[in-house]
Chain A
């Protein structure tokens, strides 16, 4: 924390930092989760959620409830909070909050393209999009055939425009290439976000660099693991790794050569964090690598709140809220499908 940030931060952003820390106090704790896992039905769940920060948000839903409704409403609450912060913010916090939405925008773009390829109804697709990632040209994605068209007609007016640079070589928008496009967009987004955070000062950058770096490493590992058995060439795969994180630049080179899951583990073993995460997966049968990554992400996001006078807490709050929504949906699904043995596999936050 440099002196500058402590002296001037509160002029524009002190109030909103207080607000977001207030929001954070409403995140479900282990006591809340232990109440939720004992619920017998979704109506029970709704009753228990009324005592938390969620309040009466499910009041007007007709019973029987569905898990999708619960997920939608929880996300709606998060979006309300985001819109409140965004409306009250000034530069540079407003740009920072906009950057948070770009990740969701990328997911929406890919969802719409995939949906179109499978000939789904455009209206239905729009409803499935994440509300934080809405942009104006969403309706016109459905008719695009090539990447160049996608860029010229849709993305160029959105903030995602510059991110398509690496993917313009990919000609067709079809099943095979859509993941490549997603990963290219996301790689450019992470690098751009990191570059932007560097201009925001030490307090923000120290936290965000670590968080974005972990996100980049996780993506690199996942891309590698998911590419075994597909047609993705090693050189193409190497182009998708973000130039960020603990694995950049040496770990990425080894990762690009990896041929099977064991060599992936060997490639990242020189970093204690990942060695630990991989070994956790080895010990515990029920735990997948994704779960280990989620847990570590929660840990990093909780640490972000230790820094005052920085923007990291805004980003972390929304990541933690997302994890909370995933937890609630997991618990709801276990209740509905009567899988009580697996119900404790949510990730505790506080």
Chain B
């Protein structure tokens, strides 16, 4: 009985989706604001419903916001361990601030990228004035922001966890700190990779417009 119930539910779901797809393809319901309004593609049109400005601005905000989340995450992970271990072994305090600085660098990458993206956003008019290049620029800035944001999130967390281990090991045996620092350096390279790719992605982004609104 249960097997047939599931098959029935799947059939109903399929029917509903099919209906919605056909509905979207109806001439009066298809989005008209897109330059390609007469095509009957379905979900792709939704991406053109938002102006390239919104894509670009969201990209800039992700670049800084998610990078800062990564940096903060890393700092609290390593900071609490440094605090705990330094009670018994105060000599580790200064050396282990390097871990905190590595995490902080990740946030700075985010700031740089957000400033670069922000400087590329220009007012070229509204729907009807956009040319394909503008849409390209909007999407490029959005995904460049995601790239740098998520890479920096991972990098910050990585450096934080490693830094926590470094603090506890340094407290027990001073010779270990430099060795674990090498691991942190490799970890912080991850954030740099994200920045490099993100710069490449955003390099060709430029808002031109078709000149009619100026």
Enumerate chain A interface residues (CB-CB to B < 8 A).
6-7, 10-11, 14-19, 21-23, 25-26, 308
Interchain CB contact (< 8 A) of B83 among A11, A15, A23, A308: A15
Assembled-state Cα–Cα distance A11/B85 (Å):
15
| Beta-carbon contact of A22 and B171 below 8 Å | yes
Q: Could you tell me how many residues of chain B have their Cβ less than 8 Å away from some Cβ of chain A?
A: 21
Query: Nearest Cβ distance between residue A14 and chain B, in whole angstroms?
Result: 3
Interchain CB contact (< 8 A) of B88 among A7, A11, A17, A22: A22
Q: Which of B35-43, B72-80, B123-131 contacts A (4 or more CB under 8 A)?
A: B72-80
Query: Nearest Cβ distance between residue A77 and chain B, in whole angstroms?
Result: 14
Contacts of B168 in A (CB 8 A): 17-18, 21, 308
| Beta-carbon contact of A7 and B157 below 8 Å | yes
Assembled-state Cα–Cα distance A233/B77 (Å):
54
7 contacts between A and B (CB under 8 A): A7-B73, A7-B157, A15-B80, A16-B84, A21-B168, A21-B171, A26-B88
Interchain CB contact (< 8 A) of B84 among A6, A7, A18, A26: A18
Interface membership of chain B positions 47-80, coded 1 if the CB is closer than 8 angstroms to chain A and 0 otherwise = 0000000000000000000000000010011001
| Beta-carbon contact of A25 and B171 below 8 Å | yes
Assembled-state Cα–Cα distance A17/B76 (Å):
14
Query: Nearest Cβ distance between residue A165 and chain B, in whole angstroms?
Result: 39
| Beta-carbon contact of A6 and B87 below 8 Å | no
Query: Nearest Cβ distance between residue B5 and chain A, in whole angstroms?
Result: 34
Say yes or no: is B201 at the interface (Cβ < 8 Å to chain A): no
Query: Nearest Cβ distance between residue A272 and chain B, in whole angstroms?
Result: 30
Say yes or no: is B208 at the interface (Cβ < 8 Å to chain A): no
Query: Nearest Cβ distance between residue B160 and chain A, in whole angstroms?
Result: 8
| Beta-carbon contact of A18 and B161 below 8 Å | no
| Beta-carbon contact of A22 and B164 below 8 Å | no
Assembled-state Cα–Cα distance A15/B80 (Å):
5
CB nearest to A88 among chain B residues:
B84
Enumerate chain B interface residues (CB-CB to A < 8 A).
73, 76-77, 80-89, 157, 161, 164-165, 167-168, 171-172
Query: Nearest Cβ distance between residue A51 and chain B, in whole angstroms?
Result: 16
| Beta-carbon contact of A15 and B157 below 8 Å | no
| Beta-carbon contact of B77 and A10 below 8 Å | yes
Assembled-state Cα–Cα distance A18/B167 (Å):
9
Interchain CB contact (< 8 A) of B161 among A6, A21, A23, A26: A6
CB nearest to B161 among chain A residues:
A6
| Beta-carbon contact of A14 and B89 below 8 Å | no
Query: Nearest Cβ distance between residue A46 and chain B, in whole angstroms?
Result: 23
Contacts of A17 in B (CB 8 A): 81, 84, 168
* Further pairs besides A7-B161, A18-B83: 12, Cβ < 8 Å: A7-B157, A10-B76, A10-B77, A14-B80, A15-B83, A17-B81, A18-B171, A22-B84, A22-B87, A23-B88, A25-B89, A308-B168
Assembled-state Cα–Cα distance A7/B171 (Å):
22
Interchain CB contact (< 8 A) of B172 among A6, A14, A19, A21: A21
| Beta-carbon contact of B84 and A19 below 8 Å | yes
Interface centre among A11, A16, A21, A308 (most CB of B within 10 A): A21
Contacts of B76 in A (CB 8 A): 10-11, 14
- Lowest 7 CB-CB distances: which A-B pairs, in order? A18-B84, A22-B88, A14-B80, A18-B85, A15-B84, A10-B80, A10-B77
Interchain CB contact (< 8 A) of B80 among A18, A21, A25, A308: A18
With A7-B157, A21-B168, A308-B164 already in contact, the answer to whether A14 and B88 are too (CB < 8 A) is no
Assembled-state Cα–Cα distance A18/B87 (Å):
8
Contacts of A18 in B (CB 8 A): 80-87, 167-168, 171
| Beta-carbon contact of B164 and A19 below 8 Å | no
Contacts of A14 in B (CB 8 A): 76-77, 80-81, 83-84, 164
Assembled-state Cα–Cα distance A52/B165 (Å):
26
CB nearest to B80 among chain A residues:
A14
Contacts of B86 in A (CB 8 A): 18
| Beta-carbon contact of A21 and B84 below 8 Å | yes
Assembled-state Cα–Cα distance A134/B23 (Å):
73
Contacts of B88 in A (CB 8 A): 19, 21-23, 25-26
| Beta-carbon contact of B87 and A10 below 8 Å | no
Assembled-state Cα–Cα distance A10/B161 (Å):
9
CB nearest to A313 among chain B residues:
B168
| Beta-carbon contact of B81 and A19 below 8 Å | no
Assembled-state Cα–Cα distance A122/B48 (Å):
84
Contacts of B73 in A (CB 8 A): 7
Contacts of A10 in B (CB 8 A): 76-77, 80-81, 164
CB nearest to A21 among chain B residues:
B168
Interface centre among A10, A11, A15, A23 (most CB of B within 10 A): A10
